[in-house]
Structures are given as structure tokens and as C-alpha cells.
């Protein structure tokens, strides 16, 4: 059973470009969580999704950031018009049901030049 | 003040020592997680607990809900235990329910020397 997969593992973007980060949860998991780890800072919750639904997006910046988890395919975290402050490690985690152990992906390291 | 506080921030030990990392939280929670982040950045979930004590190999996690405090212990520490240990709380939301959203401590950097 493959673990949580994220791609790309590293992503370099110039200011103003778009970044798309993908997360494939573990098989059988329908709950996905996105977290961000800024340099020298702790992890912060961004958004919690179930299939086709955003349950809680209270940690998402109000502009430029969006997330989806379609019926088919991976969950996508999209950052439009990236700025240097978006440089961070973005982790997703999945669980089979809410309130159970979350399994983390390897993360995507985004660098904005 | 963060809702989840860990201490110490940095911990250095000699191989074989008993290690304790502490986590205090200021909100009502339904569960507390302990995570390990490897030097390469990957994150592994160690424990999820809502009461009492759990043990896995050389790792022991305890929680006292009344005192809003949890501890992670490592017995017979080894250099391969060197990592960042993170506690994360799952708080109750305003509606009195709780779901998977986690609030994280800043992490404890553990270095175990041979």
C-alpha cells in the first residue's frame, strides 16, 4: 500500500507565476489536509478537504490560494501569482476517516525566485 | 502565546539516556498527536492519544487532559532518534465538534550523540 504521494517534490517558480501542488492520498483515504511550513517556523494548518468538498479553509490566505479534491484524481493546492513569501514546504496528510491518525506525504518544497 | 507550547526547544543527549519532551496546550482538545520530522524533512506520525498512555517500542506518550499536558519519552536513546519532535493538538471547534485540523507546537530539536 503506497503512502501519501506528493509531486513535485521540489518546485521553483518566478514571482508572478502559478504553482500547482498535487497530493495523492493513501488508498482508501478520503480526507486530505494541507499544511505549510515556512522557513524556521512550525507547521500551520491550511485547509481540510473531503472528496469534492472543502470542510475547513480557515488557514488559507484570503487571496491567490485555492484547493480542491475532485471525485477522481489527486488533491490540488494552487497558488496564483506567487511571491517570495510563499517559499515554504507544503505537506499534505490523509486519513481514512475524520479524527484518525493522519499520514503525511514527503512534502513539496516551493522556492520562489 | 501559542496555543501549543513545547519544551525544551533544543535537547542534546548522550546515547542511552532517557529523554522527555513536554507539550502544554491552552485549548480544549479531543486528541493530541506526536510527530517526528526527520532531517530530510519527512513527517511520521508516532502517536495519537486522547487519554492515558501509549507505548511503541522505546517510545512512550502520556497525556493528562485535566492539566492540559502531554509528554513524549524515549528510553535508551540512540543517534537515529535525532530528529524534530512535534506535538499537535486537535482542538474542539466553536460548534463543539472536533475534526482533523491540527494546531502544532514549534517542535523540539533532539540530537543524540554516540
The model's confidence at residue B97, banded by pLDDT at 50, 70 and 90, is: low
Residues in A closer than 8 angstroms to B105, CB to CB, are: 42
CA distance A57 to chain B (A): 10
Cis peptide before A32 (omega within 30 of 0): no
B35 touches chain A (CB under 8 A): yes
Task: Sort residue A42 into left (φ over 0), alpha (ψ -120 to 50) or beta.
Answer: beta
Burial per residue of A12-45, b for 16 or more beta-carbon CB atoms within 10 angstroms, e otherwise: ebeeeeebebbbbbbeebbbbbbbbbeeeebbeb
SS3 letters across chain B:
CCCEEEECCEEEEECCCCEEEEEEECCCEEEEEEEEECCCCCEEEEEEECCEEEEECCEEEEEECCCCEEEEEECCCCHHHCEEEEEEEEECCCCCCCCCCCEECCCEEEEEEC
Whether B79 has a pLDDT exceeding 70, the answer reads: yes
Per-residue pLDDT reduced to its tens digit, B23-39: 999 988 889 999 999 88
CB B74 within 8 A of CB B83: no
Sign of the Cα pseudo-torsion (A79, A84, A86, A88, in order)? positive
A interface mutation test: which of B94, B101, B104 has the most A CBs within 10 A? B101
pLDDT at A2: 74
Per-residue pLDDT reduced to its tens digit, A22-78: 999 999 999 999 999 998 888 999 999 999 899 999 999 989 999 999 999 999 999
Nearest chain A alpha carbon to B90: A99
> 3-class DSSP state for residue A19?
strand
Amino acid at each position: 500500500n503506497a503512502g501519501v504521494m506528493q509531486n513535485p517534490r521540489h518546485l521553483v517558480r518566478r514571482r508572478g507565476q502559478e504553482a500547482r501542488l498535487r497530493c495523492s492520498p493513501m488508498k482508501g483515504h478520503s480526507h486530505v489536509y494541507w499544511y505549510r511550513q515556512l522557513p524556521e517556523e512550525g507547521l500551520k494548518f491550511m485547509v481540510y478537504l473531503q472528496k469534492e468538498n472543502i470542510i475547513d479553509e480557515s488557514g488559507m490566505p484570503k487571496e491567490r490560494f485555492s484547493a480542491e479534491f475532485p471525485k477522481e484524481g489527486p488533491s490540488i493546492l494552487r497558488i496564483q501569482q506567487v511571491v517570495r513569501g510563499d517559499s515554504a514546504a507544503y505537506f499534505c496528510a490523509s486519513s481514512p476517516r475524520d479524527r484518525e491518525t493522519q499520514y503525511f506525504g514527503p512534502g513539496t518544497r516551493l522556492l520562489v525566485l | 502565546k501559542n496555543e501549543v507550547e513545547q519544551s525544551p526547544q533544543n535537547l542534546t543527549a548522550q546515547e542511552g539516556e532517557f529523554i522527555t519532551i513536554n507539550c502544554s496546550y491552552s485549548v480544549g482538545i479531543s486528541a493530541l498527536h506526536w510527530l517526528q520530522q526527520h532531517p530530510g524533512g519527512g513527517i511520521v506520525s508516532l502517536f495519537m492519544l486522547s487519554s492515558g498512555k501509549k507505548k511503541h517500542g522505546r517510545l512512550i506518550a502520556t497525556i493528562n487532559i485535566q492539566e492540559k499536558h502531554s509528554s513524549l519519552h524515549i528510553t535508551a536513546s540512540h543517534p537515529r532518534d535525532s530528529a524534530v519532535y512535534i506535538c499537535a493538538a486537535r482542538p474542539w471547534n466553536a460548534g463543539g465538534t472536533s475534526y482533523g485540523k491540527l494546531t502544532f507546537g514549534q517542535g523540539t530539536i533532539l540530537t543524540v550523540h554516540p
